[in-house]
Amino acid sequence: MKKRLFVILAALFCLTFLFMGCTSRTSIKDYSKKFSPQVHANIGVFADTTITLIKDSELGLTQKQAIFIRDTFDPKGAEEKAFLAAKANVAKALRRIVRYSVDLVVITETNKSEAEMIKAYGDYMAGFNPGAVKSMGFKKDHYSELVDKIRSQKTFLQAMQMAQPIISAASQYINVLLNELGEKMDALYLKRDSMIDARYQDVIHYQGTLESEKYEILKAMRFLYGAFKGDNASYKRLVDSGIIWQKKLLPKSDPSYEELAAIAAHLKTRLKATHLIGTEIKPDWDNYRNAHRELNELYMNGKTKVGKVRLIALAWLKAHQKMAARVSSPAEWYNIKDLPVDLFKLGTSAIF
């Protein structure tokens, strides 16, 4: 108890000393010089949050959980190669986001003054790969003008604000890549769906025939039951239906009880045979249904991940905007409630 009390008192003393130090003029002055204002701290949070959001964003029709359709994925197939390429493009774009976020921390930590930070940041933005710049929709002169504006700013946050069109273009480019990935995913889904049907086409045919036969027999039994009850109209419907294959079982005049019983025995035998055949093909039929179920689950899982990455890219863009606009609290940068509205503003093509 004494030990616990000592720890509590020591903690209170440290907190009191800390708050007293932060309220002194010297400490405030030193803090503002170092973080200008909170640049280092906020960018560190920005980078950490970016990494956290992206690290688990594995995309698309993963084969790890596949059992029934694992062998329907051919890495050398046209649809598979197109899907894997689109997936790699998105992954590459996400790695660039992480790299940019981490490099911001490096720039602010390795340069002491605002001027040095701005120069390093301008050099960094000017060093983007020309292919990446072009893919974002920038012409060379326009991009160079943006870099010049970045370098002409007086504070680092102002420089980041001038870079916002580039960040926005990068985020929009990820949406384009995600749209392409969605299209390749759809094409691959349709291919594998057709492959499953082709593999089990005999089972599908047998199952369809058995289902049709079963319900035809049950319908005949319903008519037969009416005939047993003395309903001549029911017997006529039975004859006209053509369900009874053995025509010798159908008397030309009103049927006797024994004749109706013979028809019933015939229908029961057929129903029993139908059930027996259905039992024989049931494992293959179950495999067919499980294959489609598994494919649908993988496909929907992939679509969900694409939507998640779309939200991540938008959240990263909004966080960058708010950080550069001097929104002091990182908790306000990642406002999930605003994201659906922002997605709608981007247009339905960015959502689906």
Render 169-189 in DSSP notation, one character per residue: HHHHHHHHHHHHHHHHHHHHH
Q: Which two tokens stand for residue 67?
A: 């059992």
Per-residue model confidence as pLDDT tens digits over 201-239: 999 999 999 999 999 999 999 999 999 998 889 989 998
% of residues, the chain, pLDDT over 90: 46
- Cβ contacts of 341 within 8 Å, gap of 6 or more: none
Tokens 């640049």: give the residue: 39
The structure tokens listed for 305 are: 């991940």
Residues 6+ apart with CB under 8 A from 57: 94, 305, 308, 309, 312
Higher-confidence position of 214 and 34: 214
Beta strands in 274-340, from DSSP E residues, in sequence order: none
Whether residue 6 has pLDDT greater than 70: no
The whole-number pLDDT of residue 220 equals 92
Q: Is the pLDDT of residue 194 over 90?
A: yes
Give the helix ranges, DSSP H, for 69-139.
Answer: 78-110, 114-126, 130-135
Q: pLDDT digits over 49-66, tens only?
A: 788 777 756 665 555 567
Q: What is the pLDDT of residue 24?
A: 32
Neighbours of 152 (CB within 10 A): 12
- Specify the residue for token string 């560190």: 44
- The string of DSSP letters for 127-153 reads TS-HHHHHHTT--HHHHHHHHHHHHT-
- Cα–Cα distance for residue pair 3/24, rounded to 1 Å: 32
Longest pairwise C-alpha distance within the chain: 116
Question: Residue 89, Cβ neighbours under 10 Å: how many?
Answer: 18
* Region for 347 from its dihedrals, namely left if φ exceeds 0, alpha if ψ lies in -120 to 50, beta otherwise: left
Chain segment 241-269, per-residue pLDDT in tens:
889 988 889 887 788 999 999 999 999 99
At 72 the pLDDT is 86
- pLDDT at 331 (0 to 100): 66
What is the mean predicted confidence (pLDDT) over 91-103? 90
CA 264 to chain CA mean position, Å = 55
The confidence band for 279, taking pLDDT boundaries of 50, 70 and 90, is very high
Q: Where are the domains of the chain?
A: 38-202+304-350, 203-286
- Check whether 15 has a pLDDT greater than 50: no
Percent of the chain's residues with pLDDT above 70: 78
The CA distance from 177 to 89, in Å, is: 7
Question: How many Cα atoms occupy the beta-carbon half-sphere of 126 within 13 Å?
Answer: 15
Please give the structure tokens belonging to residue 77: 């197939």
Helix 78-110 / helix 257-324 crossing angle, nearest 10 deg: 30
**pLDDT given for residue 275 in this prediction:** 92
**Which sign does the torsion angle of CA 287, 292, 298, 300 carry?**
negative
Is residue 235 packed enough to be buried (19+ CB in 10 Å), middle (13-18) or exposed (0-12)? buried
- CA dihedral for 281, 286, 287, 289, sign (positive or negative): positive
Model pLDDT for residues 289-344, shown as the tens digit of each residue: 999 999 999 999 889 889 888 888 888 888 888 888 877 666 666 665 555 444 43
Regarding predicted confidence, which is higher, 189 or 348?
Answer: 189
